[in-house]
Chain A
Amino acid sequence: MSDPKRADVCAVAIAEAFRGDGERLCNPIGNLPLVGGRLAAATFEPHLAITDGYYTLLDNVPPVGLPEEERVAQRVIGQWNPYREMFGLLWRGKRHVMMGATQVDRHGNQNIAAIGDWRAPRAQLLGFRGAPGNTINHTTSYWVPNHSPKVVVESVDVVCGIGYDRAAELGPVASRFHEVRRVVTNLCVFDFDATDPAGLRTLRLRSVHPWTTVEEVLAATGCDVVVPDDVGVSRGPDAAEAAELGRLDPQGLRFAEVPDE
């Protein structure tokens, strides 16, 4: 069997982040995360709800990247979900979001606001968006398409999404809904199933993608991570998943984000 496409390995790793979520909103942001989230919903987590990318929650799993008319026609709408309802949903906690991260650090803090000092930024980014509210209210994962020492860092410049050190400072009651589950990158999958010497949950290498090695991942990582003895290799799609990936992303948008070399 030929090697799986890199984007397909990433899509499966993203899908795996939502395994076990049952009946809640699977809300990945960005094209490849959308494909991965919908793959989970179309296969092993059939009770997930997904969004149409805008203002409704869907009870079916249509392809991504459809022209507007098709996008609207193919929706089976479970609930109207304008932005203010989304805040209601996320404050209730029945959601797992996968956001992007300009920087993510070893405790899972995320930055999408600014590079440098926020008061006088070297590079202004998006702002905090929903990251503070997401991370304190429900499960959050991150997708990093450009894994490098500048992206996976010791400590982020601005804490938007809060990590395990910030959660620990708040204490167990205030942080009881906080969970950063996975960081999926174009090189590997991290989880937080390990603690550092301070007893804080910290990045742990869960698997490396087939086109790279543990050494290469560590060289591309700007902080210490826990490396277990049995780091696996991220899997490609099985036959049913491969068929779903073809259906969910007929235009191959995912290959633009993670191309094969």
Chain B
Amino acid sequence: MPGPDKRCTEEDVVAELRPGMTVGIGGWGSRRKPMSLVRAILRSDLRDLTIVAYGGPDVGLLCRSGQARKVVSGFVSLDSIPLEPHYRAARQAGSIEPMELDEGMFLLGLQAAAWRVPFLPTRAGLGSDVPRLMPEIRTVTSPYPEPSSGEHEELIAVPALQLDVALVHQHRADASGNATWLGEDPFFDDLMVRAAERAFVSCERVVPTAELAAGADVTHQRISRLDVTGVVEAPHGAHFTECLPDYGRDEAFQKRYAATAKSDEAWDGFRAEFLDLDEAGYQAKIRELQS
């Protein structure tokens, strides 16, 4: 039997969020970020959020708006612009609390939460400054002897990155939350969804369930309605990040965004022109710019 109809709007999703929540955001760097949902958060008065992401402009925007209190990341980058300017400014001003993990540790933290175990062990992070600077990251001693030495190895115990809410952007979804990614990398959206108490999926297009695999194959149907609370149809919703094969990154717009870190005036102007609008208004502005 099909699942219930879970379609909703960006505003409906934001209405489900509360100050102080831990919000996981899918994608990677400046690739396939659920930007229409991020923009909706920017329009809200949500505060004190903990943002968990392989960070890109999602993290930068929420740092600049002052809504992120803590950021848990493996990196924060715009890809074609290596350093995210607003995250950078927030770190240098001390306005957010950072938890900067090795990229692989970050994956294991999501996986631990998705599997409902308190931690997963790894060698990644041993000897580095990650556990020295973030003493909340503990180690665990293997109960099994290493075969050649008999030593009980000490490993990093990556804590589960338990999320209140996950926000991810997929290419296609049906009304009940089954979702398909196209392109060549699922990133970690499916893990984010399972690491969260509740997950909201935005997508380029809502399609009938039977059409989910169109343009791909069954292996791309990675997210199940069993794990999804709400579905938002958001065409071009990942703009200005990359959402291949539907569209590439809007590099010109990303440059314009990055330049807003130069001064308060630049940010205020950008905010008034592009962010103090609803999503339809934003998309109309972008179409105007691109024509």
A-side residues, CB < 8 A to B, are: 54-56, 68, 80, 82-84, 87, 90-91, 113-114, 118-133, 135-137, 158-162, 166-167, 169-175, 177-178
Given contacts A126-B76, A136-B124, 15 further A-B pairs with CB under 8 A are A54-B184, A82-B187, A84-B107, A91-B104, A91-B123, A113-B100, A127-B76, A129-B74, A133-B103, A158-B133, A159-B129, A169-B127, A172-B149, A174-B127, A175-B127
Q: Known contacts A54-B184, A120-B94, A121-B92: does B87 contact A133 (CB below 8 Å)?
A: no
Q: Contact between B130 and A132 (Cβ–Cβ < 8 Å)?
A: yes
Cα A113 to Cα B83 in complex, Å, equals 11
**B75 located at the interface, meaning its Cβ lies under 8 Å from any Cβ of chain A in the complex:** yes
* Alpha-carbon distance between A160 and B131 when the two chains are bound, in angstroms: 11
Chain A: minimal CB distance from B33 (Å):
15
| Chain B residues whose CB sits within 8 angstroms of the CB of A160 once the complex forms | 128-129
Establish whether residues A132 and B151, one from each chain, have CB atoms under 8 Å apart when the complex forms. no
Q: Report the Cα distance A126→B84, complex, angstroms.
A: 8
The answer to whether residues A127 and B73 also contact, given A55-B184, A114-B91 and a CB cut-off of 8 A, is yes
Chain A facing B: main interface SS: loop
Q: Across the interface, do B125 and A133 meet the contact criterion of CB distance under 8 Å? A: yes
**Contacting B123 at CB < 8 Å: which of A118, A123, A137, A172?**
A137
Contacts of A133 in B (CB 8 A): 102-105, 122-125
Determine whether B28 belongs to the interface, using a CB cutoff of 8 Å to chain A.
yes
Is B154 interfacial (CB-CB < 8 Å)?
Answer: yes
Among B77, B83, B123, B248, the one with the most A-chain Cβ atoms within 10 Å of its Cβ is B123
B5 at the interface (CB under 8 A from A): no
Least Cβ–Cβ distance between B115 and chain A, in angstroms: 14
Whether, in the assembled complex, B146 has its beta carbon less than 8 Å from a beta carbon of chain A, the answer is yes
Interchain CA distance A195-B100 in the complex, whole Å: 32
Least Cβ distance of A69 to chain B in Å? 12
B186 part of interface (Cβ distance < 8 Å) = yes
Tell me which residues from 95 to 131 in chain B have a Cβ below 8 Å from any Cβ of chain A. 100-105, 107, 122-130
Query: Which one, B88, B91, B124, B185, contacts A91 given CB within 8 A?
Result: B124
In angstroms, Cα B125 to Cα A174, docked, is 11
Q: Report yes or no: B133 in contact with A119, Cβ–Cβ below 8 A.
A: yes
Collect the chain B residues with CB atoms within 8 Å of residue A166's CB: 127-128
Write out the residue numbers on chain B whose beta carbons fall within 8 Å of the beta carbon of A119.
133
Q: Cα distance A166–B261 when bound, in Å?
A: 37
Contacts of A135 in B (CB 8 A): 127-128
Closest to A172 in B: B149
Q: What is the CA–CA distance of A128 and B122 in the complex, to the nearest angstrom? A: 16
Contact B104 A90 (CB under 8 A): yes
Residues in A whose Cβ lies below 8 Å from that of B102: 128-133
